[in-house]
Structure 1
Amino acid sequence: MPALRELMSIDLISVPPTATVAEAAQVMSLQHIGAALVVEGEDLVGIFTERDIVRALAAEHDAATHDVREWMTKDPVTLDADVSAQETLALMLAKGFRHVPVTQAGQLVGIVSMRDLTIR
């Protein structure tokens, strides 16, 4: 199976941790993505997904006033760009992930989704 570097998206869409749930949802909708990376400075501090939006709304929180930092997955699991698609798929299935940030030499270089792994 191919390595993540061959399957990942290199178009990194990010929001700051201070973005509101509504702002992040708008970015995700406009970009047609299911997850946004949460970046502070140059550091990946979280990942914010469609599931997080649903959790925030289900808790009856105002999406316009609550920050993504309250709902994001902090310090998300990352995988190296050389990891195989097979290993990645196994991890994602075991952990219930639909998106995983990809790094190379400790630097964020992409993101891979379950869809990326299953349509190729």
Structure 2
Amino acid sequence: MPRPSDTNPAVIVVLVREIMTRRVVTVMPDTSLADARRLLDAQRIRHLPVVREDRLVGVVSDRDLRSAQATGARAANVGDVMTPRPITVGPRARIEDAARLLVSHKIGGLPVVDGHELVGIITGDDLLRALIAVIETATLERISVALASDDDA
């Protein structure tokens, strides 16, 4: 996954498409909140992209469902509590751009869209796993360089 930049070998580049979850669990706007909750719990996820006719129309999160439950909106549908027109990222974006979007908008997940097609989702957990991989790669490269230097001595 982590690889040196074409222009600067000291820079490691990771694209969203390399770490995103491709098999996205989605719901429709008319999905009940109870069904959405069951899906989140069963899949052990926190974000559900909301699609209508294969087009992303919103995102509903665990937080949205908890908030709706706290206000007594149990009979409502996902379309009533989702975030419409969610912030998205493209598959060819660098992961640091995705991380900036998550932090600046205080959200935990970004749908990944290519044109109008939902192709994945990227979360803070995905970014942390990528960070670990980058750190491990950089550490191994430093060890390799150090060993090569010792061999030259």
1:76 maps to what in 2?
A: 86
Partner amino acid for 2:43?
Q
Partner of 2:60: 48
Instruction: Please give the TM-score of this superposition, normalised by the length of structure 1.
Output: 0.93
Q: How many residues align?
A: 118
Q: State which of 2, 7, 15 in structure 2 corresponds to 1:3.
A: 15
| Runs of 4+ residues deviating >3 angstroms | none
Higher strand share: 1
Please say which structure displays the higher CA radius of gyration. 2
Q: Percent identity, please.
A: 27
2:100 and 2:85 map into 1 onto residues whose CA distance is 20
**Higher RCO (C-alpha 8 Å, min separation 6):** 1
Shift of residue 92 of structure 1? 0.8
Does structure 1 retain, via aligned residues, the 8 Å contact 2:54–2:117? no
Q: Distance in 2 between matches of 1:91 and 1:99?
A: 9
Q: Which amino acid aligns with 1:6?
A: E
Q: What value does the CA root-mean-square deviation take over the aligned residues?
A: 1.0
1:14 aligns with 2:26: yes
